[in-house]
Structure formats: C-alpha cells, structure tokens
Amino acid sequence: MSLAEAEAHLLAGNVQEVVLNRYKLNVLQALCVKYKLSVKPTGRRTKQSIVKRDYVLALVQYQAVSNGADVDMDDHEGNREDIARRRLQVHLLEHPGRWRAIRKVDYWWREDEDIDLRELAEQLGYHDKMCKVIDYKNNRPLHQYIPGKLEVDDVEDMLNDEDILRVIVTRHIPGRTG
C-alpha cells in the first residue's frame, strides 16, 4: 500500500485506526512528515521511542481536527481515561534470591503513573507493610528514589519479558515509627 493510497484514505474522511494499521511504518511516517504532524512517543522498550501506533494516533487526530471535530487543543495531557492500562503480574517472593512466588496477583498499571508500593502490598494482603521491587537481572532490591513509589521510568526496566514484577514485603513503612 502506497503513500498515495494512505493519503487518499486520510483526505476522504472518517478513516479508522484499523485502516491506517494496514500501512507500513515508513508510509505512516512519510504522511506525518508531509502534513507536519507532531508525533508523541509512547514506546515501551526504549524510553521515549516512537512506535507505529503513535503515527496512527497522530493521523487520526489530524483527521478529526480537519473534519471540524471538537478537539480540545489545550488538553496537552489528553484524556486520562484514554491512557492505556497494562496488566502486570506481581509475584511476591519470600526472599530476593528466590524464583518461586508465594503469591501472585494481577496489577493494572496506567502507563503514565508511578506504582504505589504500599497500595501494592495491600493488594497482596499485607496492610501497614511496604513492597520492595526486586530487579530480576541481579536479584537485588531496587533503590527507591521516591520512598514508597516505583517511578514510571523504572517500571519497564523491572519487568521481565512476560510483564512480571517481582517484589518482597518489608516489615515496616519507611517514615513511620512503631
């Protein structure tokens, strides 16, 4: 499918993501360059990489604006409900070096937010406790730059290829006495 065909679909109006997904990445890139569209990166593997879906979304938004749809251009963050949630499987380990999980839960992570480790401990059934994330590459707890949070930029690095996040539960919540 050529650039001319993609442009014809775009200009015809009412183009859907499904139609644009049929085109190769280089065609979508060329179309975005031709119409001077800014493409926001959402790639997961390498931070801030632009993926095919980003080009598709930019073209769909362009078409909506050019067709006179009501799009709030002041909303730079976008609609928070539109941000994808991703299912992570959290494995609770007895010790950092162990591989067998003593408990597993699904955690739905919004890809633009930090993970609250206290909330995660409660989801695992441990109230007034805190989770520590275990780096699957070296079996050691990750240093938390923000106490009680796994920063959004670190989440990808702590997941293995199967989207498993490994944690242990600590005895206390940092900053709390008792």
The CA distance from 112 to 127, in Å, is 26
The CA distance from 85 to 155, in Å, is 13
Contact residues for 98 (Cβ-Cβ < 8 A; gap 6+): none
Q: What is the pLDDT of residues 112-167, one digit of tens each?
A: 889 999 999 999 888 888 899 999 889 888 888 888 899 988 888 898 878 889 99
Q: Indicate the average pLDDT of the chain.
A: 80
Percent of the chain with pLDDT strictly greater than 70? 80
Q: How large is the average pLDDT for residues 47-65?
A: 78
What pTM was estimated for this model as a whole?
0.51
Q: What is the pLDDT of residues 4-33, one digit of tens each?
A: 888 888 887 767 777 888 888 899 889 889
**For residue 102, what are its two tokens?**
């003593």
Helix (H) or strand (E) holding 10: helix 3-12
Domains and CATH numbers, the chain: 3-66 (no CATH), 81-170 (3.10.20.90)
The CA distance from 39 to 63, in Å, is 14
Residue 171 in this model has a pLDDT that exceeds 50: yes
The CA distance from 142 to 1, in Å, is 46
